Amino acid sequence: MIIRNLTFSYKNKTVYKDFDLEIDEGKVCCVMGSSGGGKTTLLNCISGQLAYSGDIFYGQYADMNIDKAVVSYVFQQPRLIPSLTVEGNIKFVLEKKDKESVAKKVDSIIERMELKDCRRSYPSAISGGQASRTALARALVRDYDVLLLDEPFKGLDIKLKMQILTTLKPLIKGKTVVFVTHDVEEALAMADKIVVLSRKGDEAVNIVDQIVIDENVDDRDLYGANLNDIRKRIMSALTEC
């Protein structure tokens, strides 16, 4: 994905000005930075919710406009429809033309996200972890081009977070993912590239650091002792925000 000259203002304040970013196709890019630093705004531009100027291209050759992309978005809050069951919420985003194919896709994602026990429950009757998994299942059930994750594990305990991350990782392999997080360990566990953004006062967002994580680093043990150098570099970039 290529973002070129992204410019966006909100209430006469510039958030992005001629902002450039490249994310390799099929890779996970974690976006970090201080609160109010424009991370969610970036996702909202990519998802087409905000009117911006500039270009966002995607695809193997980054030659297609993002308007044409199938974008899946996991918001900070699960945003589940209270009148639909877990299964209904997942089905909500699918085209209903081929019922058999819809049923297959839904069954498969429910199985993989371990939502079998609550598939017929309404959102008011499920736990926070199940709600997060449902929101993820809804995003993953489609054949998407770009996946946007906006702090999807906010408020979950470490054990639950680890469980979901372990489930999620193989499911998004080979997909282009932009993952906003405040958690360094989450970023280290998921990212192929980590971008640290900074926005001071009313200034436009700028990139403090971009760290590409070597593909060969496979033994990413969440909260483990490896990747220490990268962890230190991220922490240093974050303190500059």
Partner 1 sequence: MRSEKISKILNIVLPIATMVVVVIVYAIVSKVVGIDMLVPSVPSTLKQFFSLFAQKSFYVAVFWTLVRAFISYFLAIVLAALLAFATYAFKPLRSALAPLIVLVRIMPTMSLILLALIWFDSFEATILVAFSVVFPMLYTAFADAFESVDKDLIEMARVYKVDTKTKVFSLYLPQMSSNIFTGIKSSIGLNLKLVIAAEVLAQTAKSIGIEMQFAKINLDTATLIAWTVVAIVLGALFEGIVRLIEKKAVKWK
Q: How would you label 85-97 residue by residue, b for 16+ Cβ within 10 Å and e otherwise?
A: bbbbbbbeebeee
Residues near partner 1 (CB under 8 A), total: 23
> Quick one: which of 12, 60, 95, 159 contacts partner 1 (CB under 8 A)?
95
**Shortest spacing between CB 8 and partner 1, in angstroms:** 17
DSSP string, 206-235: EEEEEEEPPTT-----TTSSSSHHHHHHHH
- Please give the Cα distance from 210 to 193 (Å, whole number): 7
Among residue numbers 40 through 59, which ones bind partner 1 (CB under 8 A)?
Answer: 47-49
**Shortest spacing between CB 57 and partner 1, in angstroms:** 19
- Using the rule CB under 8 A, is 119 a contact of partner 1? no
**Shortest spacing between CB 43 and partner 1, in angstroms:** 10
> Which token pair is 97?
């033309």
**Coil, strand, or helix at residue 32?**
strand
Q: Write each residue from 55 to 84 as x if it is in contact with partner 1 (CB under 8 A), else as -, in one continuous string.
A: ---------------xxxx-x-x-x-xxxx
**Shortest spacing between CB 81 and partner 1, in angstroms:** 6
Other Cβ atoms closer than 10 A to 23: 22
Footprint on this chain of partner 1 (rule: CB under 8 A): 47-49, 70-73, 75, 77, 79, 81-84, 88, 92-93, 95-96, 122, 124, 138, 142
